[in-house]
Structure 1
Amino acid sequence: MISNNYFSDNQDLKDHFDSITNWKEIVDAYEDNFEDFTAYQKTGKEELAYAPGNYEDAIEYYRQTLEAAGDISGTEISQVAKVMDEVGLKYSDGKVTFPKEMIQVIDKIKSAGLLPYGIHRHYGGLGLPSVVQSMLSEAVSRADGALAITLGCMNLAETVERFGTEEMIHEYVPKMAAGELCGAMALTEPNYGSDLPNLQTKAIKDANGVWRITGTKRFITHACGFDSMPSIILTLARTGSTTSGARGLSFFIVHSKDVHVASIEKKMGLHCSPTCEVVFENSPGILIGEEGKGLVKYSMAMMNQARLNIAAQAMGIASAAYFEGKKYAEERIQFGKPIAEIPAVKKMLDRMEREVAGMRCILYEASRSVDLYRWKEERGKMKGISEKEIRKDEDFKKWEKLASLFTPLSKYYITELANTVAYDALQIHGGSGYTEDYDVARIYRDVRITNIYEGTTQLQTVACIGGIVSGMSETGAFRAYVNEEMNGFSASSDLKELWKKLESVVSEFTEIETSKLRDELAFEVVESTARFHVSLLLERSIGRVKVERREARRALTEAYLLDSFAILASNLTKIQGKKRTLVGV
């Protein structure tokens, strides 16, 4: 792997940090008039010591954090990724053993103070907005996707922070921030993957009023904890009858010492990420929130954040694929010149570059949408404001609705394109890429899961389509968002024409009366929406980057728009053709 600082050596990522991101709105949303700084001045609470007191300090704090994460990712993690992958995990009698290199590098991350990046500073975390968290996750995932998952699990405190009691929060979240507890999500069962409303794991109160959980969960990442660090397993279990569906499910905290890890999966990739089968036998559980809302409220909230995390992971792996492919192409000499100069290879590299740039745009826009609503909820809770009152805020409702669309949209788009970029990177390496001598083989294996777990692309399509159709109505949230964004810069005639093309795609789709055909063609609508959205974001970014970067940005955007026109035209033709066929039948 390339050894460098994975923040400062990535010019497109730096462009987003230095100029594309509107830091004022992010800082306003997250820091909330610098309340943590004010609280530190009054109380001297140690956890708030690094809270910024103005915009300049906030941006510099985020930058320093990313510089530190980029350095440890590119000079430490990336340099042992191959060894960790080759050694892998060992399982024996319920115990999982991790490579010593992985343990050592996690210790270095912990010593550098970077481990609790996703935890609020009130509980001992770094206190970073979602945009910064995504940037950090990208840098770590570029170094090693498996280790990035481990860090993500150690930051799996959001559900407890948002929905737990004060007692739960203070019992578990500071321990996760200190690296004393890992986290795991236990939703899937052997016979129920995405069909969560029908899962069978049961939770019954015993004579002492303690919830006891019985059942088996599969594909549970880090249910075994990490090294000597135990996990708290956020578990979905049935408290209602077997026929009560989603409303009969509740959410629990279960300690890893109270379950048995029956096995770990032997996987194609991510060899250092333990994917466990877990057996619950009257395991004690602590109820989170209200009984019966485990799936409809708590699990869905947790999965939305997890989907954004996987999008960031795929983003990082795609970055690794692009940079490793580019490096190889510039060094590999054939026919008397680097293969990067051969038109067919250059065409691939150019496409990879613009796709990676587009993926980054949609990732950070989804993260922005989360930042612009989530912290109102979290800080409101700290202030004792009821959820009902918070949800009356029009700005909150707007961005929550957009985040509900942008999160699955970015998860689908980034993970699918990351697979394409990794495919091209391996192709550029030729036969050498098919061997384990080059890191691109591991990259290719690791990225393949990203468009499967935390909801396949097909499930993301289901999650997106309703929000697109309603969002494109005359008073829809997405239409209002597009109009507002396009009025904020000089949108090109090409972008306006692409918008009309998307309107035609959605209009043709909404005229379909049969649900079967609508389901069949939903992906074409979702893909068209994603391509337009990325096109908009790329064009918006041209005027934001530094002057010396604008022409290159403009050329990249124009090439992306051309590809998007072809894709939307194709999707429109498919929808119209299917409709004609149906009428003919």
Structure 2
Amino acid sequence: QEFIPKFCTGENTGAMALTEPDAGSDLQAVKLQAYQNDKGEWFLRGVKRFITNGNGEVHLVLARSEAGTKDGRGLSMFVCRTDKTVVIRRIEHKLGIHGSPTCELQFNDTPAQLVGQRKFGLIKYVLDLMFRARMGVSAQALGISQAAYEEAVKYAREREQFGKAIYNIPVIANMLIEMRVMLESNRSLFYSAAKSVDVKEKLEEQIEKLKTEGKSFSEENNRLKQATKIANFLTPISKYTLTESANKISYDALQIHGGTGYMKEFKVERLTRDARITNIYEGTSQLQIVAASGGVINDVMKEFFEAKEIHEYKGGLTRLANHLNEIREIYLDCLKYVIDKKDTSFQDVAAKDLVELYSYLYIGYLVLDEAEIESKKIFIANRYIINSLANARKNAASIKNELFSDLLHADKILV
């Protein structure tokens, strides 16, 4: 009642204040202090950096509530209002997303309220926030990709060179088709990931309701455990795949525009700049790989894949299903190779290839199922799966040829 109504009416906007000058990806290093007075009231003191919409009226702040601690277990979540104790020290001058103010904030003994339980700020509440944050940035990346693709198609149809629209030049047409396939497959992944979060949250609601009614919830709890594992895999995969694709699609869209696209007068240069932040904020692509790797190593989608393997795809889809079976075999072979190495450094670096292998497989089945329902999706599935098989073989070669063994000689290489 205190905060939500004004968010709903648009009277208030908010910010999620997590990052600090020395605590970016490593949020366990957060230092902003939360302390209590004699009455038990909470106050915040310290600096937050790179805060999106830092000029908002309400802030969710991750702060160190337990004196003497240095890890994530000493952090709690607080909510506070912007008042004279909250100072915007600077507004960042950024490459892109100029419509979104990014601020450095100083909290000078700011009155705050504890959210939930002490010590659960990072290990529970921030991790829960990350589901939504990953999906939000995935949606942002998908929107940028769609806009960049539309600009590229429009320009290619209008621009004439060599006596014809460049749209009709094979190399340009191929680029546009690649962009379209990325868009379609990314959209399928996004919806699937969003559904996984909805399923997880709905089960949590059901369990809370059953608890209040004094009823058994063991079955729902088992379903929640599996749903959480799937969401823990799909949300970082969505963030990784869609944001990397947004950078590629906007890059190619600008390339299709040629020198014209480099000029401020055309929308595509802004889209290219705006795309760049998506695979950095709310967790870099490298952190998304780390987040997804546990599910990949434990084969979290095993039941899903096994069900697809026994499904009878008809006509030309049989060939594509066989390609996906081959990717599955490549993944299992590479997984065994990485685990048998018993080398944590090798496993850390090889995780990217393993995660990509697994994502090809999952997305491949999504687009294959769509092709079963809608004939025009066959073109999307065909190109996506054939590309994925080629990429899977490359990923496997990187792992099994031990491309990463030169990490041991980094000091000699990086001169």
Listed as ranges, the gaps of 5+ residues in structure 2 are 410-415
* 1:518 aligned partner: 347
* 2:380 aligned partner: 556
Task: Return the match for 2:77 from 239, 251, 259.
Answer: 251
* 2:60 aligned partner: 234
Listed as ranges, the gaps of 5+ residues in structure 1 are 1-169, 226-230
Contact 1:509 1:525 in 2 (8 A): no
* 1:299 aligned partner: 126
Write the distance in 1 (CA, Å) between the matches of 2:69 and 2:377: 55
Taking a change above 3 Å as real, the CA distance of residues 386 and 514 of structure 1, as seen in their structure-2 partners, is: farther
Write the distance in 2 (CA, Å) between the matches of 1:264 and 1:580: 40
- The Cα shift of 1:393 comes to 2.7
Write the distance in 2 (CA, Å) between the matches of 1:580 and 1:284: 50
Task: Return the match for 1:494 from 309, 323, 329.
Answer: 323
Answer yes or no: is 1:274 the counterpart of 2:101.
Answer: yes
SS at match of 1:278: strand
- The Cα shift of 1:192 comes to 1.1
- The Cα shift of 1:388 comes to 9.8
- The Cα shift of 1:314 comes to 0.2
SS at match of 2:43: strand
Taking a change above 3 Å as real, the CA distance of residues 580 and 432 of structure 1, as seen in their structure-2 partners, is: closer
Answer yes or no: is 1:374 the counterpart of 2:201.
Answer: yes
Write the distance in 1 (CA, Å) between the matches of 2:216 and 2:72: 23
- The Cα shift of 1:390 comes to 7.2
SS at match of 1:340: helix
Letter in 1 for 2:177: D
Task: Return the match for 2:362 from 533, 538, 550.
Answer: 533
**Residues 467-487 of structure 1 deviation map (CA, whole Å, 9 limit, x = unaligned):** 1101x2xxxx31112223455
Contact 2:346 2:404 in 1 (8 A): no
Write the distance in 1 (CA, Å) between the matches of 2:150 and 2:337: 40
Answer yes or no: is 1:461 the counterpart of 2:289.
Answer: yes
- The Cα shift of 1:259 comes to 1.1
SS at match of 2:3: helix
Taking a change above 3 Å as real, the CA distance of residues 174 and 380 of structure 1, as seen in their structure-2 partners, is: farther
Answer yes or no: is 1:203 the counterpart of 2:34.
Answer: yes
- The Cα shift of 1:580 comes to 10
Write the distance in 2 (CA, Å) between the matches of 1:295 and 1:196: 8
Contact 1:505 1:568 in 2 (8 A): no
* 2:49 aligned partner: 218
SS at match of 1:219: strand
Taking a change above 3 Å as real, the CA distance of residues 247 and 489 of structure 1, as seen in their structure-2 partners, is: farther
SS at match of 1:418: helix
TM-score, normalization: structure 2?
Answer: 0.92
**Residues 136-170 of structure 1 deviation map (CA, whole Å, 9 limit, x = unaligned):** xxxxxxxxxxxxxxxxxxxxxxxxxxxxxxxxxx2
State, as a whole percentage, how many aligned pairs show the same letter. Answer: 37
Write the distance in 1 (CA, Å) between the matches of 2:201 and 2:385: 32
* 2:390 aligned partner: 566
SS at match of 1:290: coil
* 1:36 aligned partner: none
Write the distance in 2 (CA, Å) between the matches of 1:506 and 1:555: 30
Matches within 5 A, 1:85-100: none
Contact 1:329 1:338 in 2 (8 A): yes
* Count of residues in Structure 1 that have an aligned counterpart in Structure 2: 400
- The Cα shift of 1:304 comes to 2.0
SS at match of 1:393: helix
Write the distance in 2 (CA, Å) between the matches of 1:488 and 1:216: 55
- The Cα shift of 1:489 comes to 5.8
Write the distance in 1 (CA, Å) between the matches of 2:49 and 2:140: 22
Write the distance in 2 (CA, Å) between the matches of 1:387 and 1:580: 53
Q: CA RMSD in A?
A: 2.2
Taking a change above 3 Å as real, the CA distance of residues 366 and 292 of structure 1, as seen in their structure-2 partners, is: same
Matches within 5 A, 1:242-391: 242-257=68-83, 258-378=85-205, 380-381=207-208, 384=212, 389=217
SS at match of 1:511: helix
Letter in 1 for 2:69: T
Matches within 5 A, 1:27-176: 170-176=1-7
- The Cα shift of 1:190 comes to 0.9
Write the distance in 1 (CA, Å) between the matches of 2:260 and 2:209: 55
